[in-house]
A and B are shown apart, each in its own frame.
Chain A
Amino acid sequence: MTTRAIKSGKIRCDACPVMCYIAEGRAGACDRYANEAGQLVRLDPLTILQRHSESGGELVPFLDGADDWDGGIVADGDTFITAVGAGTTYPDYKPAPFIVASQVDDADMITVVSEGIFSYCGVKVKIDTDRHLGPERAPVRVDGEPVGHVTTGEYGSQMLSLGGVNHLTGGGKKEGRVTCATLLALCNGGAVEMAIDDGSHLIVQAGRPPMVNGEVEERMRAGCGSAVVGMFASQWKGLVDEVVVVDDHITGVMSEHQAGKVIGWPASGIRIKGRRSTPGRYFNVAEPGTGWGGTDLADPLTIVGDFKTGVAEPGRSLLMVSTTGEHSAYYELDDALRPVEKRMPDALVKTIERIAENCEPALCSVVFMGGAGGSLRAGVTENPVRLTRSVRDALTKVTCGGAPAYVWPGGGITIMADVARMPENAFGYVPTPALVAPIEFTMRRDDYQALGGHMDHVTTLADAARGVTGRQNDHVLAGRRRVAADPQNPWPTNRERARS
């Protein structure tokens, strides 16, 4: 392909027969080729991580035109070519778009860089809330289409499993498309509205608090009801005669709980409706819901039975509180031993504030999970199974857009990576539907050679950063987008990690 400068600032593209004249700073009729300072460039920026000791940890994207890139002074140890924007050679079964050689601490390293087309992929979403979002196994819907399901609850969090091949390609066409759009949005940091069958309506966005039924969930619980009883027992002693910490999982009752016993908390005569687990710990006090402590309770007294006569006395006080301190109420027993709500004494208000203070901010986290298939591995080596073994033996390190990837034990290369640690807009899609995700394999040059790597397609890091592409690359890459590496991520070519 050649381009001729026609007049100042204009070039003529001959990538195709249309031969557009393209003004400076503009794109041609196809929107895929552009004139940047008189150079014809293709508009798929490749993302390069830059390690700066002084960088404050923020990802700072900036476009670098020809002027901006200083043309080759690339410190190998501090630069990493990510697969974001690298393109893919799929389905051509040829070497990956970039096979980059660099020097790291005197060792020759090779990084194989490719965008993978993942038909087998999805996200695991962790939502920090005790609220009941929906029954386990319930479908999660976006736009009415099932895109995943509620999976096992974890400590202080509800988990969703979204995507996966059965929703992407195994269901209806719309189901596949909506699933793909949902995954793409979540992986690129977007907010997605979803509804759980027989459950809540959610807005989920990586790194942001979840919104449940229109309310922002701000806090993760300090602990389960039993734990909160233990954590605050001595602080409550002397201020109140009984404390019930309402929790959908384990509701704690101070006077019966071991924590109360050891500090000599007297019996209060309270009766809790629920299944007693061990003293002072109750399961199933109510149905799950979005009320008190992840139950469906609007009035916590619903779980309190009649006080025992002979033990309880009029005037005794009762504090009921949820595990986040978000709900709380103070009662005193009347002459008939019925709890009557009263204004909470200031000293107790302070303890409620203390519970809230001990709760971490509630967030949604999104972890991408996908399997590197045969053709992707063929882009790395002529003998794909050797790549799997090399990854398994920790000779080859896998990253996604420079972010660390956890490789599942067992067969194949099935990885998980936190999308919040990747550069912006690292994911794309193809209409198959499938997600396009960046993946890099880094290893020593001799290891790469040993596993049957495409040695004759290797480009140096300095060349790749300058915009030179390997001969296998269909893409005339234009733009290079340099972003500061996330300091929380281990540096991708750090050998200790790959060799350990």
Chain B
Amino acid sequence: MSVGWKETPRSVLLKDGRLGLRHGPIDLIVAAQGDPRAVTGGYERVRAQFETILGDLVGELYLLRAPVGGGQPMPSGAIAGRMARIARRFPADFVTPMAAVAGCVADHMLGVLIGDGGLERAYVNNGGDIALHLAPGASYKAAICTDPTAGGHGGTIEVDWGDPVRGIATSGWRGRSHSLGVADAVSVLARDAGTADVAATLIANAVDVNSSAVVRQPANRLQPDSDLGDRPVTVQVGHLSAAEIDEALDNGERRVTGFVQAGLIEAAFLTLQGRTRVVGERPALLSPHAAIPRHGVDRHA
């Protein structure tokens, strides 16, 4: 089939002053506050960089889809290199740099946006994985997604400039990437979005239980070029018993604790069939949310 049209990188300045960028699977919302010249200059740089980042990543996709620890060379691209370095920090049986892709794109673009300063507050949100810049005194509020299908919010967290948190990422079996676990959503706070991204992926994989209610299929049957190969990924989670939910959350919590003790992340929010666990030092302020946007969850405040 040929329809004579190809998606090119698209950027649009939204009416509220944020910048929207989309190319293939990358969907960024960029926001910056501060010296107007710094904002304009930052947006210009981000727009220019955006032209090439997907192409650059795709060029090294074969390296990025390979499990770490296999002795393969470091990728050379800025984002690809960051993905590989972060993935290698995590003690896991199996992880590929692709686990860090969304977060690392956000981190990289945030760096481009900040440039040589002048911004008080900025963020890059890549489909829910968020990289933050906070000048002294600034803070950032985010709603934690607990139901990716319906767009439900389970609570909000506030990141203060004094906190060692500049990255937020969410993973779960219903998300765009496949998961080995059953978590509805795992949101992680970490020093950068790439680290939060890998951690969220690995924690969501760990939130798991052996149950007849869980349907799994080999990843490569669903997505032929998946970096997960033929590992069984979750495609459906039926009603779990209270004991099964507890067991799955316990499994996830153990992994969170390990990551927190290793200094990799600050905190994680785990949600499974209406139950939530908060692990780490950050408090969660719960507030119900009324309505559900159709085009996905706007997770930034």
Contacts and interface: CB of A to CB of B under 8 A. Distances in A.
B50 to A, nearest CB: 13
B224 A10 contact: yes
A18 B54 contact: yes
Nearest to B29: A431
A143 B6 CA distance: 42
B89 interface: no
A184 B293 CA distance: 7
A19 interface: yes
B25 interface: yes
A111 B247 CA distance: 57
A180 B291 CA distance: 9
Given A169-B15, A431-B18, A192 B291 contact: yes
Contact of A21 (B23, B24, B223, B291): B223
B170 to A, nearest CB: 15
Given A20-B223, A181-B290, A184-B293, A476 B5 contact: yes
A177 B298 contact: yes
Interface in B67-94: none
B2 interface: yes
A410 interface: no
Contacts of B4: 1
Contacts of A16: 6-7, 23-25, 54
A467 B298 CA distance: 31
A193 B287 CA distance: 14
A174 B25 contact: no
A10 B289 CA distance: 40
B225 A21 contact: yes
Contacts of B176: 29, 31
Contact of B2 (A1, A15, A176): A1
Contacts of B1: 1-3, 39-40
B242 interface: no
B290 A193 contact: yes
A18 B24 CA distance: 7
A190 B29 contact: no
B58 A18 contact: yes
A294 to B, nearest CB: 26
B58 A143 contact: no
B116 interface: no
A26 B222 contact: yes
B291 to A, nearest CB: 4
B301 interface: yes
A15 B24 contact: yes
A62 B294 CA distance: 19
B25 A29 contact: yes
Given A1-B6, A3-B1, A190-B291, A23 B301 contact: no
Contact of B291 (A39, A142, A428, A474): A142
B48 interface: no
Contacts of A143: 287-290
Nearest to A11: B1
Contacts of B221: 23
Query: Counting chain B CB atoms within 10 Å of each CB, which of A29, A143, A185 scores highest?
Result: A29
Contact of A17 (B18, B55, B224): B55
A425 B27 CA distance: 23
Interface string A187-199: 0101011100000
Contacts of B2: 1-2
Query: Counting chain A CB atoms within 10 Å of each CB, which of B7, B27, B176, B289 scores highest?
Result: B7
Contact of B222 (A17, A23, A40, A181): A23
B243 interface: no
A491 interface: no
A427 B294 CA distance: 8
B23 A431 contact: no
A1 B18 CA distance: 30
A177 B293 CA distance: 10
Interface in B141-155: none
Query: Counting chain A CB atoms within 10 Å of each CB, which of B29, B61, B291, B301 scores highest?
Result: B291
A142 B6 contact: no
B225 A181 contact: no
Given A1-B3, A18-B25, A185 B54 contact: no
A39 B1 CA distance: 7
Contacts of A425: 294
A494 interface: no
Contacts of A177: 298
Interface in A405-444: 425, 427-434
Contact of A428 (B23, B27, B287, B294): B294
B215 interface: no
Given A1-B2, A192-B290, A15 B18 contact: no
Nearest to B175: A31
A19 B291 contact: no
B138 interface: no
Query: Counting chain B CB atoms within 10 Å of each CB, which of A2, A17, A119 scores highest?
Result: A17
B149 to A, nearest CB: 13
A178 interface: yes
A30 interface: yes
A89 interface: no
Contacts of B290: 142-143, 178, 181-182, 185, 192-194
Given A22-B223, A173-B301, A182-B290, 7 more contacts: A17-B55, A23-B222, A30-B24, A142-B291, A185-B291, A431-B20, A474-B5
24 contacts: A10-B224, A14-B6, A15-B6, A16-B24, A17-B54, A18-B61, A21-B223, A23-B223, A29-B24, A29-B176, A30-B24, A30-B25, A30-B27, A91-B12, A119-B15, A143-B287, A180-B293, A184-B293, A192-B291, A429-B295, A430-B295, A431-B16, A431-B29, A432-B16
The 4 closest A-B pairs by CB, nearest first: A16-B24, A185-B291, A181-B291, A21-B224
